[in-house]
Amino acid sequence: MSDSFYAVILAGGRGERFWPLSTAKRPKQLLSLVGGRPLLVQAVDRLEGLVPPERIFVITNADLVDVTREAAPALPASHIIGEPFGRDTAAAVALGCALVKERDPNASFCVLTADHIIKDVDAYQQTLRDGLALASREDVLITIGIPPTEPSTGYGYIEAGDLYSEDMDTHFLKTDRFVEKPDAETARRYMAAGGFYWNSGMFIWSVRALEQALEAHRPALAEMMRDVSPAVGTDRFSAALKTAYDKLDKISIDYAVMEKAANIVMAIGSFPWDDVGSWQALENHFDVDEHGNVMIGDARGLDAARNVVVSEGRLTAIIGVTDVVVVQAAGATLVCARERAQDVKKMVEQLRKAGGYDEVL
C-alpha cells in the first residue's frame, strides 16, 4: 500500500434500466442486486488493503449525498461529494482529480465505478496496483480493457496495439482507438479479429498526467479544477462547485480526453467483470431453475421458462409465459419481453414526460 495511491468512485448514475427497483431516490448503485450488499459498498470493500477509506472519494449527485453516506459509513462523510447537476463523467473525473490534488499533488489515483460486478478481487487489485505503480512513474493515461467473452453490443470497445510493458503481473498494451457500441455484425467481427477489448470505464493516472491532458484537450475542465480547488474543505465549496459546473458542457471522459490523447495505455483486466446493464444480466449471477428461470424474492412459476422475476415485498406468480422480465417493487410493476430489457430506460423517459409518476421514478 502506497501513501500516494488514491481512488475516486463514480456513483452518480440513475440506473434507469433497473426501474422500478432503481429510482432517483434509490439508484442502482445503492441496491443489493448481487452479492447481498449495495453495489457501492462492494466497490469500496474491493479496495481494502490497497487504498484506505481516508484516501477514497465518491462523486455522486447532490440529492444522493445523505443516502450514499448512510450506505457507506466506512468512508469519511466529507469524502462523499455531490455534484450540483450532472455533467457526465469528464466533469466528475476532473472534480475527483481536484480533490486528490488538494491532498497530494504528486498522487496517482484510479477512477472506478460504483455499480459494476467484479469477481476475483485479488486479480482486480493486482491490476490496480500495477497500474498505479506505472502511472506514478510515467505520464500515461491508463484504461482497463476486459477480454470479451461474447460479441456484446452493450459495451464500447478498445482496439489495442503492441505490447507496452510486461514487467509486472499485468500486461499493458498500446491503444489504437476507442470504438462506440457496435452493431451485432461489427461485434462478431471484433471477436473474430482479436485485439479488441471491452471498455470497462475504469482508469488510472497521476494527477499531473490528467491535468496535462485536460489542459490540452478540455481546458474548461482544467479551469474548473482551478476554480474549485481553493474552496475544497471550506464552507465555500458547494457554491464554488455550482458556479464552476454552470460553465461546463456535458461530455464523457472518453470523448473529452481518451479519444484524443496520444499517451493512452490499456491494462488487460484479467478478472470477471460485468456492468450489469439490464435485468437480463442477472442471469449471469443467479442460479436458474430447471426451466431456466431466475426467481429473486418471493416469486413462483408454473409452466414458465427462461424468465427473470424479481419480487420485492410481495408474492409474484407467473403462469405459461416465456422470455419475459417481471419486476415488482413498491408502487410499480414492470413486465417486458426479455429481449427488450434494455428499453426499460425508454419507459422511464416516457413516464417522466407524461408527469404524475414522480413517486415511482
**pTM: predicted TM-score of the whole model, two decimal places:** 0.94
> Are residues 207 and 313 both part of a single domain?
no
> Are residues 24 and 58 both part of a single domain?
yes
Closest CA to 110 of 4, 203, 211, 209: 203
- The residue written with cell numbers 494527477 in the block is 207
> Are residues 334 and 259 both part of a single domain?
no
> Are residues 95 and 206 both part of a single domain?
yes
> Are residues 312 and 216 both part of a single domain?
no
Question: In the chain, how many domains are there?
Answer: 2
Per-residue b or e along 82-98, where b marks 16 or more CB atoms closer than 10 Å to that residue's CB:
bbbeebbbbbbbbbbbb
CA atoms of 40 and 318, how far apart (whole Å): 32
> Are residues 266 and 284 both part of a single domain?
no
- Distances in Å between the Cα of 95 and the Cα atoms of 81, 102, 111, 155 are 9, 11, 11, 25
**Residue 356 belongs to domain spanning:** 279-360
For the chain, report the end-to-end CA distance as a whole number of angstroms: 41
The domain boundary, picked from 274, 308, 328, lies at 274
> Are residues 244 and 290 both part of a single domain?
no
Percentages helix, strand, coil for the chain (3-state, rounded to 5) are 40, 30, 35
Per-residue pLDDT of the chain in tens (361 residues, 90 and over written 9) = 567 899 999 998 877 889 999 998 889 999 998 888 999 999 999 999 999 999 999 999 999 999 999 999 999 999 999 999 999 999 999 999 999 999 999 999 999 999 999 999 999 999 999 999 999 999 999 999 999 999 988 889 999 999 997 778 899 999 999 988 889 899 999 999 999 999 999 999 999 999 999 999 999 999 999 999 999 989 999 999 999 999 999 999 999 999 999 999 999 999 999 988 889 888 889 999 999 999 999 999 999 999 999 998 889 999 999 999 999 988 899 999 999 998 999 999 999 999 999 889 9
The domain boundary, picked from 219, 247, 274, lies at 274
> Are residues 263 and 283 both part of a single domain?
no
CA atoms of 224 and 245, how far apart (whole Å): 7
Provide DSSP, 129-178. HHHHHHHHHS--EEEEEE--SS--SSS-EEEEEEEEE-SSSS-EEEEEEE
The domain boundary, picked from 240, 274, 308, lies at 274
5 strand-pairing partners:
108
